[in-house]
Amino acid sequence: MADDPFALFDDWYALARDTEVNDSNAMALATANAAGQPSVRMVLLKGHGPDGFVFYTNYEGRKGGELLANAHAALLFHWKSLRRQIRIEGPVEPVDDATADAYFATRSRDSQLGAWASDQSRPLADRAMFESRFAEAEARFADRPVPRPSHWSGFRVVPQRIEFWEDRDHRLHHRRLFTPIDDGSESGSGSGWNEGLLYP
């Protein structure tokens, strides 16, 4: 193994935080429903390490419902300023309550209230309806901390493929693929990674 993919991710991510104007932690999240129909949207990375890549959402929204029905996802980081991309694919698991509670406590109060006010992805008659629900949440939790709603939590994408893509002149890009070493265990992966190149 020439490189640890997580150490390489950390190096690229650190560069992105210095060069990207907005949301260096933005990533495209692709999911599919139980019938295999795909959908994609931008979300924000809120934690990462050898155990996976974490983001948070309303479990009752579209992406939450799709991930609970079909627990596989793909992520794409595209840092135009660096001319680099990282693609990640793998199964998805919910984070534990303590992890979700700890992250929720770091959010701004308005964002916390928004998690109570929003029926994410469901039809909204008009903006006034959402603002009214937000005001109701403000009144409900006045003068006390806002607890995390039970339907709002995080998912962790456990990588089975990590590809590092670098733009090169004349479309002769450089692509490095990491996959877990299969050690014959039930999980199908050991403690190390295979590395190879892909044609551009």
- Per the annotation, the verdict on 140 as an active-site residue is no
> Residue 55 pairs with which residues in a beta bridge?
155
CA distance 91 to 74: 9
Catalytic residue among 133, 156, 171, 175: 171
Give a three-class secondary structure readout of the chain: CCCCHHHHHHHHHHHHHHHCCCCCCEEEEEEECCCCCEEEEEEECCEEECCEEEEEEECCCHHHHHHHHCCEEEEEEEECCCCEEEEEEEEEEECCHHHHHHHHCCCCHHHHHHHHHCCCCCCCCCHHHHHHHHHHHHHHCCCCCCCCCCCEEEEEECCCEEEEEECCHHHCCEEEEEEECCCCCCCCCCCCEEEEEECC
Q: Which amino acid is at 200?
A: P
Q: Annotated catalytic sites, by residue?
A: 171
